[in-house]
Structure 1
Amino acid sequence: MIRYALKCDDGHGFESWFQSAAAFDVLAARDMVNCPQCGSGRVEKALMAPKVDTKSALSVPASRAEEKLAALRRKVESEATYVGGGFADEARRLHDAQVETPIYGEANAQQIKGLLEDGVPIAPLPFLPKPKVN
């Protein structure tokens, strides 16, 4: 079965299911596909985006590397505190106080350079924190 977005020559849009793409072509050629609003048999396929199940597609790692990346994300999120855009200030404060508390967040290039120049141990993460992901 295939679902098509359709429109008639008067511009009315509607959807319908067909046994196959070929079945639609045969029925349309015989004027057997009609607009439910005006009854016109002059119907054509309209532009339509395919439906993609992103919830399941994106929740299952596709490779061993994605599995390891997902495991790293879980570890960071469970063991470190998210400090957002205050990462540079918090990292510097903890370093100066000689406190080893795991944190993660965001910093711009200038802030990163300053932290590295001051000997603050930091490392980039290979993913965006969840609050920054759309």
Structure 2
Amino acid sequence: MKVLNLQCAHQHEFEGWFGSEADFTDQLARGLLNCPLCGDTSIQKMLSAPRLNLRAHRDDKAPVEPADATGRVELGFPASGSPLQAQLLKAMRQVLAQTEDVGERFADQARAMHHGEVEQRNIRGRTSPEVAMELIEEGIEVMPLPSLPALKETLQ
């Protein structure tokens, strides 16, 4: 298994796991790789240090993955990205988990909740910037969120 540090044209860093270097090259050539943060398909492999086992035998108490200063192993996105990038993804995943996607009906649902026509709940959806401004002018609290493709699917 090859674990590669990858980066898109927008400087978002992430990990990719491949069966071999040939698998990586093949997937890259077929356009199957994209940035989990922005969806960009201009992916390049970054330099990374290999993991070397220099001990004659492994200590059973030693973690298999690199640990932080507390000894905890932190797995997940991003492998080498900025802390801000990781915080953004964590916050966005939390928003997705705690809201209902009402899609294109967002403005109608927000207005109906504001006027007491339907029960209050946490929703998210899509609307134009103009309609979002109308909602704000009506006293309805809305907040634009970026659309991140990585949040829609489980990262593999």
Q: Looking at CA atoms only, which structure, 1 or 2, has the larger radius of gyration?
A: 1
Gaps of 5+ in 1: 1-48
2:22 is equivalent to residue 51 of structure 1:
no
Query: Secondary structure in 2 aligned to 1:89?
Result: helix
The question of whether the paired residues in 2 share the 8 Å contact of 1:105 and 1:129 is answered with no
Instruction: Specify which structure has the bigger relative contact order, considering alpha-carbon pairs within 8 angstroms and separated by 6 or more residues.
Output: 2
> How many residue pairs end up in the alignment?
82
Across the aligned residues of Structure 1 and Structure 2, the Cα RMSD in angstroms comes to 3.1
Change in Cα spacing, 1:50 to 1:74, as seen in structure 2 (3 Å) is closer
Change in Cα spacing, 1:80 to 1:73, as seen in structure 2 (3 Å) is same
2:85 is equivalent to residue 60 of structure 1:
no
Query: Secondary structure in 2 aligned to 1:90?
Result: helix
Gaps of 5+ in 2: 1-25, 37-75
Tell me which amino acid in the other structure corresponds to 1:124.
P
Identify the structure with the greater helix proportion: 1
Relative to the length of structure 1, the TM-score reads: 0.51
2:110 to 81, 91, 96: 91
The question of whether the paired residues in 1 share the 8 Å contact of 2:27 and 2:33 is answered with no
Tell me which amino acid in the other structure corresponds to 1:87.
F
Aligned-pair identity (%):
25
The question of whether the paired residues in 2 share the 8 Å contact of 1:88 and 1:115 is answered with yes
